[in-house]
A and B are shown apart, each in its own frame.
Chain A
Amino acid sequence: GQNIDQPTEMTATEGAIVQINCTYQTSGFNGLFWYQQHAGEAPTFLSYNVLDGLEEKGRFSSFLSRSKGYSYLLLKELQMKDSASYLCAVAGYSTLTFGKGTMLLVSP
């Protein structure tokens, strides 16, 4: 089975940097995804990590440590449009399991 933990809510101000953490326990591991979900919309893909280290993509970066069962999503130069839920998802042997999501509120 899989267990995924991430904070329920976070707040930050426009222009700042925020780090959203995700810890997991899994019986099989084939990578970790981060998805963004705006209210009332479907999740959209942000990043995928399968090896340890940092993956950078514009304002967003994602880090993975497989030995620690830990990942984080780093958002830089926050914008109002970044207010959304951020979902951590772990790929096991054959399926993808999502965490409950972290609701990020960006204020002016």
Chain B
Amino acid sequence: EAGVAQSPRYKIIEKRQSVAFWCNPISGHATLYWYQQILGQGPKLLIQFQNNGVVDDSQLPKDRFSAERLKGVDSTLKIQPAKLEDSAVYLCASSPGSGIGNTIYFGEGSWLTVV
């Protein structure tokens, strides 16, 4: 079974530039998550989708971050304009069904460095 796919794996941009990350979840998984993980910290939830609807985006900095999940499958996360403090790993994850007790599976992450 293929895992969660993310691209690009690594990205270096200058502050005030924009960047987009793509995620393809495990086939059949209804729930998709984007987490931000700053070095030395645990993952912080940015946004959670159930199919193509948003369940929670309370910690998404909406003035610069946006995310969509068209057709309830793939998702993109965009940052515009980027700030230095956005340097982090952006982890996409997915889980089957809608129950919060379902195990979530992570992709390898997209590493962003803002200079």
* A→B interface (CB under 8 Å): 4, 30-31, 33, 41-45, 48, 50, 87, 89, 91-101
Contact = CB atoms under 8 A, between A and B. Distances in A.
Contacts of B40: 100
B103 A33 contact: yes
Contact of B44 (A44, A45, A50, A98): A98
Given A42-B91, A87-B43, A31 B101 contact: yes
Given A95-B56, A98-B43, A45 B105 contact: yes
B114 interface: no
B100 A31 contact: yes
Contacts of A31: 100-101
Chain B's interface: helix, strand, loop or mixed, by majority? loop
Contacts of B104: 45, 96
Contact count band on B: 20 to 34
B100 A94 contact: yes
Given A87-B42, A101-B42, A42 B100 contact: no
Given A94-B48, A94-B55, A45 B103 contact: yes
